[in-house]
């Protein structure tokens, strides 16, 4: 300090001059600080600051990288131009966001982090996703947050839309196109099995939760499934096939007649071939027993022959039953229904071969049918097909209710996005004030430089007088 005094200007004099015009100093400091804060916030930080959101989905199939309808799920598609454009178009508040620049300049990205099992590192127990984007592409943090949330919600909305498109009507489509009762019954059975299986899958995936709204009345999934099962226990679909076989109903003879006749010919050939094999096997057994008897053999192993005879015999019993079902359907045709003699004549090979003694029981079954073909058609449509369609719609609504309520995005941070990069607000304020103060001091020094020199000269004069 003494050295500085000897040179002519003391620190005290400097500080006195810098703070002499304190109002000006305050104005310059604040003004400069504001300019610097704005420059850092809206220029520097705009290009350096990033927003990031960590989240995961509770969506069926995502862990296996597929949507509920089986199509591929790829999280990277969420930041493609097509997806970002759809997100932008979905909300008017996003209209100023340039998704082209976001993609072109790498202004947005998404990454995935797998959490692995502690005992088996090859098993992924959970996955987290992170969307990162630069602040400069948004007019506010709120807009950035909403845009990121909209992107993360895309798979949820995709899943819900898929549920609307999953109509489960393929069996009904096949049913409507079919001109054969047997096939129609088979499609109805497949549809019933499909609904039952899907209800079980819902319970296994989401638990036996309560269903909301009509027509569920707060039923659980299993209770809704029980309604389906109870109805078809009281109206078993298998009973339709029994009625078709016993009554000989045919939906369309034009389509089915050729198939029926070809089926009977195939069954006839298989039956007679089996009969011939049975006779040959029995002849071999008889011959072996005769030889053994002549040679005084006490025991003979013939089980292999007997098992084959038994197998062919059982097969022929089944073939005869199937043939009888086809014959009933043929006998219902107009040309045979009132002319039994023609039927007997056209299929006499079946009586001559000994497969049937006569066809009296076939005509008796037809005459004793519980319902007419028209009544059967009505029952098939209203009691079975239409009811299955109703239960299919109920399942679709149940599935949509459960999956919609359980498909969501869970964020790791309550504020959704976290800002990082650039200069923090606190540092910005402190740094701006310091720089503003320094500039304010220099301004005061420049303005009061004359005063400083005069003051210094007076001090030197006093020192000379003292000397």
Residues 97 and 138 occupy one common structural domain: yes
Asked which of 80-84, 138-142, 196-200, 366-370 is least confident by mean pLDDT, the reply is 366-370
Is the per-residue pLDDT at 190 higher than 80?
A: yes
% of the chain residues with pLDDT over 90: 45
11 part of a folded domain = no
Residues 308 and 291 occupy one common structural domain: yes
**Torsion angle (degrees, nearest 10) of CA 24, 28, 30, 33:** -160
Is the per-residue pLDDT at 137 higher than 60?
A: yes
Residues 236 and 264 occupy one common structural domain: no
Is the per-residue pLDDT at 360 higher than 50?
A: yes
Beta-carbon contacts of 452 under 8 Å, excluding residues fewer than 6 positions away, are 9, 13, 14, 17, 445
* Helical residues (DSSP H) of 235-352, grouped into ranges: 238-247, 253-294, 303-331, 334-337, 340-346, 348-352
State how many domains the chain has: 4
The average pLDDT across 62-86 equals 90
Burial 99-115 (b: 16+ CB within 10 A, else e): beebbeeebbebeeeee
Asked which of 18-22, 54-58, 324-328, 341-345 is least confident by mean pLDDT, the reply is 18-22
93 part of a folded domain = yes
Contact between 363 and 244 under an 8 Å Cβ cutoff? The reply is no
Residues 126 and 55 occupy one common structural domain: yes
Q: Hey, which of 40-49, 248-257, 353-362, 449-458 has the most confident mean pLDDT? A: 353-362
Tell me the three state secondary structure of residue 306.
helix
Residues 364 and 253 occupy one common structural domain: yes
What was the pLDDT predicted at 13?
60
% of the chain residues with pLDDT over 70: 87
Q: How far is residue 331's CA from residue 337's CA, in Å, rounded to a whole number? A: 6
Contact between 211 and 398 under an 8 Å Cβ cutoff? The reply is yes
Is the per-residue pLDDT at 70 higher than 90?
A: no
What was the pLDDT predicted at 15?
65
413 part of a folded domain = no
Residues in the chain: 467
Q: Last residue of some domain: 103, 134, 166? A: 166
The average pLDDT across 149-175 equals 91
Residues 383 and 241 occupy one common structural domain: yes
> Residue 265, exposed/middle/buried by CB under 10 A (0-12, 13-18, 19+)?
exposed
3 part of a folded domain = no
193 part of a folded domain = yes
What was the pLDDT predicted at 3?
45
347 part of a folded domain = yes
Is the per-residue pLDDT at 269 higher than 80?
A: yes
Asked which of 203-217, 332-346, 445-459 is least confident by mean pLDDT, the reply is 445-459
Residues 112 and 140 occupy one common structural domain: yes
Residues 123 and 187 occupy one common structural domain: no
Please state the pTM of the whole predicted model: 0.64
88 part of a folded domain = yes
The average pLDDT across 106-115 equals 91
Q: Residue 121 — very low, low, confident or very high, per pLDDT cuts 50/70/90? A: confident
What was the pLDDT predicted at 54?
93
Q: What is the pLDDT of residues 378-437, one digit of tens each?
A: 999 999 999 999 999 999 999 999 988 888 899 988 889 888 766 677 777 888 888 877
Residues 58 and 110 occupy one common structural domain: yes
Q: Last residue of some domain: 134, 166, 198? A: 166
411 part of a folded domain = no
Residues 61 and 133 occupy one common structural domain: yes
Range of the domain at 33: 16-44+423-466
Burial 299-321 (b: 16+ CB within 10 A, else e): eeeeeeeeeebeebeeebeebee
Residues 349 and 286 occupy one common structural domain: yes
Residues 239 and 263 occupy one common structural domain: no
Is the per-residue pLDDT at 6 higher than 60?
A: no
Q: What is the pLDDT of residues 11-68, one digit of tens each?
A: 666 666 666 666 777 787 788 878 877 876 776 666 567 899 999 988 877 777 888 8
């Amino acid at each position: 300090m003494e050295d500085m005094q000897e040179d002519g200007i003391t620190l005290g004099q400097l500080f006195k001059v810098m703070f002499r015009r304190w109002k000006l100093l305050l104005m310059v400091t604040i003004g400069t600080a504001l300019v610097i804060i704005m420059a850092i916030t809206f220029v520097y930080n705009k290009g350096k600051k990033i927003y990031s959101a960590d989240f995961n989905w509770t969506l069926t199939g995502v862990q296996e990288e597929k949507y509920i309808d089986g199509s591929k799920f790829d999280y990277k598609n969420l930041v493609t131009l097509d997806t970002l454009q759809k997100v932008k178009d979905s909300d008017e508040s996003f209209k100023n966001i340039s998704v082209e620049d976001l993609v072109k300049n790498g202004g947005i990205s998404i990454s995935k982090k797998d959490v692995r099992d502690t005992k088996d590192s090859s098993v992924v127990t959970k996955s987290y996703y992170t969307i990162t984007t630069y602040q400069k592409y948004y007019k506010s943090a709120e807009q950035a947050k909403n845009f990121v949330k909209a992107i993360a919600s895309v798979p949820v909305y995709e899943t819900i839309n898929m549920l609307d498109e999953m109509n489960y009507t393929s069996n009904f489509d096949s049913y409507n196109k079919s001109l054969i009762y047997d096939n129609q019954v088979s499609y109805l059975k497949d549809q019933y099995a499909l609904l039952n299986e899907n209800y079980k899958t819902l319970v296994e995936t989401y638990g036996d939760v309560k269903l909301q709204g009509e027509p569920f009345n707060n039923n659980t999934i299993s209770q809704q499934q029980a309604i389906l099962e109870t109805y078809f226990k009281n109206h078993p679909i298998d009973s339709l096939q029994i009625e078709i076989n016993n009554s000989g109903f045919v939906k369309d003879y034009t389509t089915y007649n050729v198939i029926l006749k070809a089926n009977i010919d195939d069954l006839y050939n298989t039956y007679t071939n089996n009969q011939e094999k049975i006779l040959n096997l029995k002849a071999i057994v008889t011959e072996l027993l005769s030889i053994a008897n002549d040679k005084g053999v006490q025991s003979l192993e013939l089980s292999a022959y007997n098992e084959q005879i038994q197998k062919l015999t059982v097969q022929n019993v089944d073939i005869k039953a199937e043939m009888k079902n086809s014959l009933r359907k043929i006998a219902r045709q107009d040309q045979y229904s009132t002319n039994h003699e023609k039927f007997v004549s056209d299929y006499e090979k079946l009586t001559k071969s000994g497969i049937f003694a006569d066809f009296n029981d076939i005509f008796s079954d037809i005459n004793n049918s519980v319902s007419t073909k028209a009544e059967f058609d009505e029952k098939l449509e209203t009691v079975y097909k239409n009811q299955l369609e109703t239960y299919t719609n109920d399942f679709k609504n149940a599935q949509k209710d459960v999956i919609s309520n359980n498909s969501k995005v869970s964020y790791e941070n309550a504020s959704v996005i976290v800002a990082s990069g650039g200069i923090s607000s606190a540092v910005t304020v402190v740094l701006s004030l310091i720089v503003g103060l320094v500039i304010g001091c220099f301004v005061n020094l420049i303005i009061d430089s004359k005063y400083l020199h005069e003051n210094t000269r007076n001090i030197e004069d006093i020192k000379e007088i003292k000397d």
